[in-house]
A and B are shown apart, each in its own frame.
Chain A
Amino acid sequence: MAVDFAALQATVRERFAEQVLDWTEFRRQACLHLRRERVVDVMRFLRDDASTRFAMLSDVTAIDLLKHPEADKWPERFAVVYQLYSLEHNARLQVKAYVPEVPCETPSVTELWSAANWGEREVYDMYGIRFTGHPDLRRILMPDTYEGYPLRKDYPLKGRGERDNFPKYTEIPEEGRGGRA
């Protein structure tokens, strides 16, 4: 029992006409392109509807389309990418929600999948996309004192001096030492 993607596309386009931007397929991988405003509603439908049952969220990541050669094809600078998997139908679906640079935020899907918690934190850490409604949105990989979002395309690869400027130990000159030498 597989998911009928043609029927699914028609259903989604009908039910969420305002939200669906595009539907693409690449090497039999379906991808649903969405506006971000009602992403939770669309996702809830995809998770709960009997014809799909995408019960598992495999991954949350993001794309920065700045300076992308085909960037003009996409409506916004960022795309948050959700990889869904249906255990019942053994089918996968990719969902992209486009997020502008200002305001850089999109609804969180943690209420649907707990697995989204850390994935969204990572996206926030690396791209600065804030997820509204996230229970604990803070950095997960970089140090708490870090400024900036290193996976953005306009972030310099070598950083902005962070790796040379962080709290650390310094050598005490010999004359300044107390106690035993």
Chain B
Amino acid sequence: MEQIEDKAPEGAGPGYKHGGAGWMTTRVDALLDWGRRNSLWPMPFGTACCAIEMMATLCSRYDLSRFGSEVIRFSPRQSDLMIVSGRISIKMMPVLIEIYNQMPEPKWTISMGACASSGGVFDTYTLVQGVDQFIPVDVYIPGCPPRPESLVDAVMMIQEKIKRGEKQTKVYDRTTHPLDFQPVALVSGAAQADPELTGTRHTLPPKDVETEAEKKTE
């Protein structure tokens, strides 16, 4: 953006008035990005203690609104910055992706804390090891949990990204990942002998998606 000072035209009388900058030239993109980066509406996806730090960041002591990002929206339709703060289990991940896809574009994502970024200390059977496997992430915040300054810094990094005109270009669609793993037999073995026990009422959906191996052979 550049500003051009309004000068009095030649021959204008003493009654000519102007209030400084009367007009400016810019690109529409730059103007929109200027608006976007100074009015980020975050969608808080808080599932754990990182969300408590996020609340602290929004409150008066750290006051994220000083940086143009105060309007927390709990509706994805009205927000453009998703802050994933906390552990995401494999039961929660489809919900997260649904909400992410409901956000209008352009949109940006912050992965806040160790759990959202990598699973953290929870290297267990139920936890997604990093949300970036499933949704695009712009800024990662390390820490367990990160301090509010880190979140403020991340928001400012997002603003820098918007200033550079960087937008998420990946488009995600709901498809089913090929369920190509085979459950390993239980160690004790006795449970295997009981078909009632192993064949529980909850089984995986039918394998109707071709696996990577099948694709390669074709």
Q: Indicate the size class of the contact surface on chain B.
A: 35 or more
- Closest CB-CB distance, A54 to chain B, in whole Å? 31
Contact B173 A158 (CB under 8 A): no
In the complex with contacts A103-B196, A157-B125, A169-B202 CB distance below 8 A:
no
Which of A101, A144, A156, A177 interacts with B190 by CB under 8 Å? A101
Q: How far does the Cβ of A22 sit from chain B's closest Cβ, in whole Å? A: 24
Check if A75 is an interface residue, CB within 8 A of chain B: no
Enumerate chain A residues within 8 angstroms of B204, measured Cβ to Cβ.
145, 147
Contact A165 B180 (CB under 8 A): yes
Knowing A101-B188, A154-B188, the reply to whether A163 touches B170 (Cβ < 8 A) is no
B202–A147 CB distance below 8 A: yes
A165-B188 contact, Cβ under 8 Å, with A157-B123, A158-B125: no
Least CB distance, B169 to chain A, in whole angstroms: 8
Asked if A163 contacts B188 (CB within 8 A), the reply is: no
Give the interface SS of chain A, mostly helix, strand, loop or mixed: loop
A44 to B6, CA, bound (A): 91
Q: Take A158-B124, A159-B124, A163-B125 as given contacts and tell me if A168 and B173 are in contact as well, using a CB distance cutoff of 8 Å.
A: no
Contact A138 B201 (CB under 8 A): yes
- Asked if B184 is at the interface (CB within 8 A of a chain A CB), the reply is yes
Mask: chain A, 157-174; 1 = CB below 8 Å from B; 0 = not: 111111111111111100
Q: Does B16 contact A (CB under 8 A)?
A: no
Nearest-neighbour CB distance to chain A for B194, whole angstroms, equals 5
A69 on the interface (CB 8 Å rule)? no
- Residues on A with C-beta less than 8 A from B94 are 166-168
The smallest C-beta distance from B121 to any residue of chain A, in angstroms, reads 12
The 3 closest A-B pairs by CB, nearest first: A159-B125, A154-B187, A161-B181
